[in-house]
Amino acid sequence: MAKANIPERPEGATGILVLADGSVVWGRGFGATGEAVGELCFNTAMTGYQEVMTDPSYAGQVITFTFPHIGNVGSNDEDVEADTAHALGCVVREDVTAPSNFRSNANFTEWMATNGRIGLSGVDTRALTRRIREAGAPNVVIAHSEDGQFDMDDLLAKARAWSGLEGLDLAKDVTRDDTGTWTGGPWRLGFGYEGASEVDRPHVVAIDYGAKRNIFRNLVKAGAKVTVVPAQTSLEDILALQPAGVFLSNGPGDPAATGAYAVPVIQGLLERDIPLFGICLGHQMLALAAGAKTMKMHQGHRGANHPVQRLTGDQSGLVEITSMNHGFAVDGATLPDHVTETHRSLFDGSNCGIAFTDKNAFGVQYHPEASPGPQDSFYLFEKFVGRLG
């Protein structure tokens, strides 16, 4: 077996990225020390690095940020999508600088260390992004050591031994532990996160496959009362909550693996004509429940600038600027006759939305809660809640 192709260690290098093909990228480590193995991807968003790092959909992945200035606005306790970071680490171009934002209460380097996540700076992220685009998302090990000393053969062996995301159910690892009520609304400058009365609101049960918190806030903003349940909650337990509608959240891993327990529940909800709305992994679960198939993408879609075209309705042809984070997609060619493709990516033509013609159920591949556009996609929450009566 070939050993790692090790370039000379640059002066001051304390971090390293070892790819499964033997390629090695040196950099300056920051945040936590140690090592982590996962899939390397890239994200093209110019803002929101804290939201990205805490998005449970990034479990098992190391993120290359294409925007060079990551960490420059520091970190705070509000711009998070979960209790902890779920991305394994990140690779950035420039060193993290002192925070320049009145909302910051900690340096991003400190935040990474507190959350046990490894960062690597001083990397040619444009070259790394091109490598991912051309060869696909590789398995890697990211490592940080204060003395810059690493066992290269061991790191390479770990990168090659990792199974990858295909066939991996990660939703069960990132979901919440118990059922709970969500009451927080959207954030406003000077006010923080608003609350909401539960009086006369339709009850939405949200299945948490690795949900971002802002999804629940947008459901509240659209007028719903929200109860969140773990990913493996049974159909009987969901029905016992008497939902007016059920929301299927985003999440990490291979949808086909998560579908082993999620799809029968969704099919049971469809049989009972309960309105459904899915986002990202939830969208893929909905498609699998209809009989369609999903597939691993070459490089995936991750960023806040993805154009998606509507294909149906009064505004057919309109283009939304969307936020995306997915490495799997619904195979549009496998959709059954009773499911219509409603949205399509203008980057590569992949499926980005479906709707059942015989049920009150629809889903989108992108993240309408992430304020892309910034308001292009909120209508989806209004559409779902508006159907619940």
Q: For strands 24-31 and 34-43, give the pairing.
A: unpaired
| DSSP letter for each residue of 56-117 | GGGTTEEEEESSS--STT-B-SSS-SSSS--S-EEE-SSPP-----TT--B-HHHHHHHTT-
The letter for the amino acid at 376 is D
The letter for the amino acid at 107 is N
Q: For the chain, where are the E strands, in sequence order?
A: 15-19, 24-31, 34-43, 61-65, 89-91, 118-121, 139-144, 180-182, 187-188, 192-193, 203-208, 225-230, 245-248, 276-279, 294-310, 319-330, 339-345, 351-356, 361-364
**179 burial type by CB count under 10 A (0-12 exposed, 13-18 middle, 19+ buried):** middle
Q: What is the mean pLDDT of residues 288-311?
A: 97
C-beta of residue 244 within 8 angstroms of C-beta of residue 203: yes
Work out the pLDDT band at 301, boundaries 50, 70, 90.
Answer: very high
CA trace torsion 310, 316, 321, 324 (10° rounding): -10
Say if domain 171-386 classifies as CATH 3.40.50.720: no
Mean of the per-residue pLDDT values of the chain = 95
Q: What is the mean pLDDT of residues 37-45?
A: 98
pTM for this predicted structure = 0.96
**What 3-state class would DSSP assign to 255?**
helix
Work out the pLDDT band at 1, boundaries 50, 70, 90.
Answer: low
Domain 15-161: give its CATH architecture: 3-Layer(bba) Sandwich (3.50)
Work out the pLDDT band at 183, boundaries 50, 70, 90.
Answer: confident
Q: What is the mean pLDDT of residues 44-66?
A: 97
Known catalytic residue: 11? Answer: no
Residue 32 has pLDDT above 90, yes or no: yes
pLDDT tens track for 120-176 = 999 999 999 999 999 999 999 999 999 999 999 999 999 999 999 999 999 999 999
> Which residues, 6+ apart, have CB-to-CB distance to 112 below 8 Å?
30, 31, 32, 53, 85, 90, 118, 119
Out of 41, 90, 280, 352, the active site residue is 280
Out of 39, 51, 81, 369, the active site residue is 369
Which token pair is 370? 């992430």
Work out the pLDDT band at 27, boundaries 50, 70, 90.
Answer: very high
- Which position has the token pair 């619904």? 330
State how far the Cα of 108 lies from the Cα of 100, in Å rounded to an integer. 11
State how far the Cα of 290 lies from the Cα of 68, in Å rounded to an integer. 42
pLDDT tens track for 270-296 = 999 999 999 999 999 999 999 999 999
Work out the pLDDT band at 4, boundaries 50, 70, 90.
Answer: low
Known catalytic residue: 203? Answer: no
- Which position has the token pair 């902890």? 84
Known catalytic residue: 41? Answer: no
Which token pair is 167? 């066939």
Which token pair is 96? 């993290």
* Domain residue ranges of the chain, discontinuous segments joined by +: 15-161, 171-386
| DSSP letter for each residue of 154-200 | HHHHHHHH---STT---HHHHS-SS-EEE----EETTTEE-----TT
pLDDT tens track for 315-365 = 999 999 999 999 999 999 999 999 999 999 999 999 999 999 999 999 999
